[in-house]
Chain A
Amino acid sequence: MTFSLIPFLPELTLLAALVLILLATTVSPSRDGTVAYGVTQLALWVAVALLWLTQARYIVNPRIVEGVVLRNSSTLLMQSAALIGLSLALLYGRASLIRQKLWQPETFLLFLCSTLGVVVVIGAYHFVPLYLGLELMALPLYAMVALRKDDAMSVEAGLKYFFLGALASGFMLYGISLIYGATGSLGLAAVGSLAMSGASHGLLLLGLFFLVSGLAFKLSAVPFHMWAPDVYRGAPTVVALFISTVPKLAAVVLLLRLMSGPLSPLLVYWQGMLAFLAVLSMIVGAVAAIAQTNLKRMLAYSTIGHMGYLLLGALVGTQDGFGAAVFYILTYVLSNLVAFGVLLSMNETSDESGATLSRGSDLEDFRGLYKRSPIRAALMTLAMLSLAGVPPLLGFYGKFAVIAAALMNGFIWLSVVAILTSVIAAYYYLRVIRLMFFSSPDEERASEFPCIGVVARVVLVLNGVALLVLGLFPSALLDLTVQALAWARVL
């Protein structure tokens, strides 16, 4: 039997781009990031193309390569989402990166490295690539959060994220070691066969407990959410956008893969854990966001709330539930990209000492935005309505699918909590809209908007319109995810 590298071509493309940028940084004295940016975007799109070219045949015939890496329709879908997500994030963040003097090759190196980790995690069917992928995803993030070295907030956010993140990875690893102890093998398939057998599951469940706590940290689910608001606030906005979208995809896939495949016989045990996380996340996400005066912090709590809804879909434990959760994460990523895209197009400036970076992301900066820039205001409105789950926007169908799946499987109380919290959450999303449309601009804060590229503008508008159009025809994306999961069999 020969070993073929063809299924790994997308990962190898990213790796090649990484090595290329790294070598170029050492050889050339230039500190300008334009070439690195170009290489990154090219590598991302080549990787997407290769994904669809080389892996289309796994859509209906899932394959586990060497018992280690999974290739099927859901990995194809989520890996493309991760790659396209990074591409859009960098496109929207380009102007902001230049303004903050982060337009350097190293920045793109870190972004690419983290995305490679995400892609590896999404494909992992064995604990070694799973752990290594998670670390590859997380380690560059710590550095990315602290990229603005002379900003006290950025460094502090980086340190907080590092310690909590490293502890979470440690927990996860401890969990994996216990699961290894229970099964005697590092493959996910062995976990499945042990869970099926009638043997005692004590060690496995203890390991699962640690693993789920680590995953909850990555998802920023309550009570493992403390880092999120500080990190979103302190990190450069592009990095906050990245953290709130791409690594979440990996965490969700990982959670759903464990729950839908190997651990499905232990449904009752993890359902309780996830229900606990889901309820707390939904409540904290809705209530704590109301008090925020900074949009980035508010979006952090919004993310926490959204992860609660997603967990609600996951804990149902049926194919509809998993499909709803995957659909939910996709709608969330699309809406969040628009919200952060508008935020990135606002004028974020440092004060003289460079110590704090407040302007442009405070809610006050959105006061009367409609009069100053109708397009920004309109896009932000679409994003906020979609995140709030107002029909006919895409976000509504995400919430609808999740709550419907929960209701149909008899989780009445959880659905009631979900509906109540989404009503509370609508308040703070609508407050942003009220500020933009029904308040007059604050002259003191009204500075010139920065120049952003034509391509970024067009794509951002298209992204915003997509929220509406996909919302009007929700079956397009919903059917895609449901079909992908049906083909995938093992998620």
Chain B
Amino acid sequence: MPGLEPTLLHYLLLAAALLVISLVGIIANRRNVLVLLMAVELVLLAANLNFVAFSVYYHDLSGQVMTAFVLATAATESAIGLALLILLFRRRGTIAVQTLDVLKG
């Protein structure tokens, strides 16, 4: 069916939706720090989807090269995030967001 071919706009909307979902995940989530980590990674995926979509649209490979770099940094980022989470869990015995309240003012 020709009318259902995905166009550039569809990909961009999907990426924007991913961005919104991750923002909602960050704002609405009060329970688990792990979910925050997932939400943050989702932002990178949204950007990646944009890169790939534009790369295909312009027939330019540099966008896809960027995607490879972004995936590598995303992996590094989650490694550091998880390491910090483990430190938090050792210290407090919980990874609830509400417990992050020692520092204020």
Contact = CB atoms under 8 A, between A and B. Distances in A.
Given A156-B100, A186-B62, A230-B103, A142 B80 contact: yes
A167 B81 CA distance: 12
Given A174-B50, A177-B54, A185-B60, A166 B77 contact: yes
Interface string A132-153: 1001000100110010011011
Interface in B71-94: 73, 76-77, 80-81, 83-85, 87-88, 91-92
Interface residues of B, number: 44
A128 B83 CA distance: 27
A173 interface: yes
B41 to A, nearest CB: 8
Contact of A152 (B33, B51, B73, B102): B102
A202 interface: no
A150 B26 contact: no
A327 B26 CA distance: 38
Contacts of A176: 47
B73 A162 contact: no
Given A159-B85, A162-B80, A233-B103, A180 B63 contact: yes
Contacts of A391: none
B54 A234 contact: no
Contacts of A450: none
Contacts of B81: 142, 162-163, 166
Interface in B10-60: 12, 15, 19, 22, 26, 33, 36-37, 40, 43-44, 46-48, 50-51, 53-54, 57-58, 60
A270 interface: no
Contact of B51 (A149, A177, A294): A177
Interface in A191-248: 229-230, 233-234
A213 B44 CA distance: 16
Given A163-B40, A170-B47, A174-B43, A155 B87 contact: yes
B87 to A, nearest CB: 5
Contacts of A234: 102-103
Given A132-B69, A177-B50, A230-B103, A146 B84 contact: yes
Contacts of B84: 142-143, 146, 155, 158-159, 162
Contacts of A131: 66, 69-70, 73
Contacts of A128: 62, 65-66, 69
A167 B100 contact: no
A146 B87 contact: yes
Given A170-B47, A233-B103, 15 more contacts: A132-B69, A132-B73, A150-B91, A159-B33, A159-B84, A159-B100, A170-B40, A174-B47, A177-B51, A180-B50, A180-B51, A180-B63, A184-B60, A229-B103, A294-B105
Interface of B: 12, 15, 19, 22, 26, 33, 36-37, 40, 43-44, 46-48, 50-51, 53-54, 57-58, 60, 62-63, 65-66, 69-70, 73, 76-77, 80-81, 83-85, 87-88, 91-92, 100, 102-105
Interface of A: 127-128, 131-132, 135, 139, 142-143, 146, 149-150, 152-153, 155-160, 162-163, 166-167, 169-171, 173-174, 176-178, 180-181, 184-186, 229-230, 233-234, 291-292, 294, 297
26 contacts: A128-B66, A128-B69, A131-B70, A135-B76, A139-B77, A143-B84, A146-B84, A153-B102, A157-B103, A159-B33, A159-B100, A160-B100, A163-B36, A163-B81, A167-B26, A170-B40, A171-B43, A177-B54, A180-B50, A180-B63, A180-B66, A186-B62, A229-B105, A230-B103, A291-B105, A297-B105
